[in-house]
Every structure is written in structure tokens, then in C-alpha cells.
């Protein structure tokens, strides 16, 4: 096991495993990994048995935070006046609470559907006090009915809304829709490229650095591309699309 230092964060450990004829000995991996066994970052090609001690790390917060940053970047450079943009955010767990104020830079109205209303009460108060902007929050999805932009984890959360929809995953729903943007590719910052494990998705590794090692800064980084209608678009391509149908 090798200890790898991480700039601005806690170190992580690399465990090299030799496969036997019967495959990976997961009990041995669990013993060597100790308390880290429940959040292993492994190659995408490696199949980890379900319901075992060793479990694959799954990003919980960062992809959603990066999606918000990407959507706001695109909205700020599109040709639609901010006064004509109303953003609805589906954030049940309050994952975006610390950065949700970004949305006020790109819209005249920001609404959040959440189960963590007390957390968003603080965000709303701070936004009003520091910027004179309002953030409306509640627990009912119906409050986003009038929003023309919706940001959510899963495409299905937005239902049949006719808004421009940004989601981490489109879930295979309306994959060809010109108004749906799903998370695409992410370019690992050069300072971390050298420690990216072989076969590991960059967004998974960035999420592990952020969520497990405490590295800050990734949440402000946009995706390199978003997927719309099966085509990958840069943030400028997304902005052009937004200019087309938010102006209608």
C-alpha cells in the first residue's frame, strides 16, 4: 500500500492487488483496506461483488455541484437577459446549499425544492442581506412550474416540464430532447492528472478527492461538455441552445 500526498487535502492510499486464477481475493482487499474498504476507488472495468465488505465509491455531491456551476456559466453568457430567466433547483438533500447563491447571478428568480428547508433558510437570509437578492424555497415540486430553467440530479425529477433541464444523468429519458442537458466530460486539472489512477473516471476521482480528502475548488469547475440530444456541447454550445429556446 502506497500513501499519496494530495495538494490542499488529506492523502489517499493506493493498494495494488494481484489477481489469482480465481480472480481478486476481495477478503484480502477488505483486510488491507481496513475502514477504507467501504469506499474503494477502482477501475471502471473491475467488477466488485455486491453486498460485500468492499464497496465502490460512488460520488454523492460533486457532480451535482459541478452541474450547477456549468449551467450558471452557460446562462451568464447566453443572449437572454437575466431578467427573463427563472431558475428552479431540485435539491432534496441540500447538496447545493453552500453554492446555490451562484444562481442569483444568472436569473431574476431562484426557487429551490428541498427537504432541508432550515439549511436553505440560512442561504436565503444571507443572499438577501449580502446581495439584496431573494431565494424562494419549499418542499413542493409544483413551485417550479413557472421556471424556464430546472437543475436536478435525475432528468425524471423534472417530469414533463417544458423548461430547459440540466441533470447529472438523463436516465435515458427523452435522450433526443433539445431542451435537456446531461453531464458530459470533465477534464482533470493538470495538478491532479499525475495521480489519476488508471481506468478510473476523472469525475469519480475528483469526487473522491473532494468528498473524502477534503480538496476544495472542484465545485467551482464546470464540465468540459454537456450532452444534448446525444451530442456533446461546450459551454458556448449550450449557451447558443439556451439563447434559441429561452427567447421564444
Which has the closest alpha carbon to 185: 222, 130, 148, 132? 222
- Considering the domain architecture, whether residues 118 and 210 belong to the same structural domain is answered as no
- Considering the domain architecture, whether residues 53 and 168 belong to the same structural domain is answered as no
Quick: pLDDT tens for 153-190.
Answer: 998 888 778 899 999 986 545 444 668 999 999 999 99
Percentage with pLDDT > 70 across the chain? 96
- Considering the domain architecture, whether residues 162 and 51 belong to the same structural domain is answered as no
Region 202-222: mean pLDDT is: 92
Report pTM. Answer: 0.88
- Considering the domain architecture, whether residues 74 and 150 belong to the same structural domain is answered as yes
- Considering the domain architecture, whether residues 228 and 211 belong to the same structural domain is answered as no
- Considering the domain architecture, whether residues 171 and 232 belong to the same structural domain is answered as yes
- Considering the domain architecture, whether residues 157 and 91 belong to the same structural domain is answered as yes
pLDDT for the residue 71: 96
| Least confident segment among 65-69, 191-195, 238-242 | 191-195
pLDDT for the residue 49: 80
Q: Which domain does 74 fall in, by range?
A: 62-186+221-246
- Considering the domain architecture, whether residues 201 and 230 belong to the same structural domain is answered as no
pLDDT for the residue 5: 75
- Considering the domain architecture, whether residues 128 and 139 belong to the same structural domain is answered as yes
Task: Look over the chain and give the mean of its residue pLDDT values, rounded to a whole number.
Answer: 88
- Considering the domain architecture, whether residues 44 and 159 belong to the same structural domain is answered as no
Quick: pLDDT tens for 36-90.
Answer: 888 888 888 888 888 788 888 999 999 999 999 999 999 999 999 999 999 999 9
Region 88-117: mean pLDDT is: 93
Structural domains of the chain, count? 2
- Considering the domain architecture, whether residues 104 and 49 belong to the same structural domain is answered as no
- Considering the domain architecture, whether residues 103 and 145 belong to the same structural domain is answered as yes
| CATH number of the domain that residue 103 is part of | 3.40.50
pLDDT for the residue 90: 96
> How far apart, in whole angstroms, are the C-alpha atoms of residue 222 and residue 186?
8
pLDDT for the residue 175: 47
Amino acid at each position: 500500500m502506497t500513501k499519496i500526498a494530495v495538494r490542499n487535502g488529506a492523502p489517499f492510499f493506493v493498494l495494488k492487488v494481484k489477481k489469482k486464477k480465481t480472480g481478486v481475493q476481495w477478503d484480502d482487499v477488505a483486510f488491507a483496506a481496513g475502514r477504507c474498504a467501504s469506499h474503494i476507488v477502482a477501475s471502471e472495468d473491475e467488477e466488485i461483488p455486491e453486498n460485500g465488505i468492499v464497496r465502490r465509491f460512488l460520488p454523492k455531491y460533486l457532480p451535482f455541484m459541478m452541474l450547477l456551476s456549468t449551467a450558471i456559466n452557460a446562462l451568464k453568457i447566453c443572449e437572454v437577459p437575466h431578467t427573463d430567466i427563472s431558475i428552479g433547483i431540485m435539491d432534496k438533500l441540500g447538496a447545493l446549499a453552500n453554492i446555490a447563491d451562484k444562481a442569483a447571478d444568472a436569473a431574476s428568480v431562484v426557487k429551490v425544492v428541498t427537504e432541508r428547508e432550515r439549511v436553505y433558510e440560512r442561504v436565503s437570509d444571507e443572499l438577501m442581506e449580502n446581495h439584496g437578492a431573494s431565494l424562494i424555497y419549499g418542499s413542493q415540486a409544483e413551485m417550479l412550474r413557472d421556471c424556464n430553467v430546472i437543475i436536478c440530479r435525475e432528468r425524471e425529477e423534472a417530469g414533463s416540464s417544458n423548461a430547459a433541464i440540466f441533470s447529472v444523468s438523463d436516465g435515458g429519458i427523452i435522450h433526443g430532447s433539445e431542451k435537456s442537458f446531461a453531464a458530459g466530460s470533465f477534464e482533470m486539472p493538470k495538478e491532479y492528472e499525475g495521480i489519476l489512477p488508471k481506468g478510473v473516471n476523472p469525475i469519480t476521482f475528483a469526487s473522491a478527492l473532494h468528498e473524502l480528502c477534503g480538496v476544495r475548488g472542484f465545485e467551482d469547475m464546470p464540465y468540459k461538455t454537456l450532452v444534448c440530444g446525444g451530442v456533446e456541447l461546450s459551454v458556448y454550445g449550450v449557451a447558443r441552445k439556451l439563447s434559441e429556446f429561452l427567447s421564444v
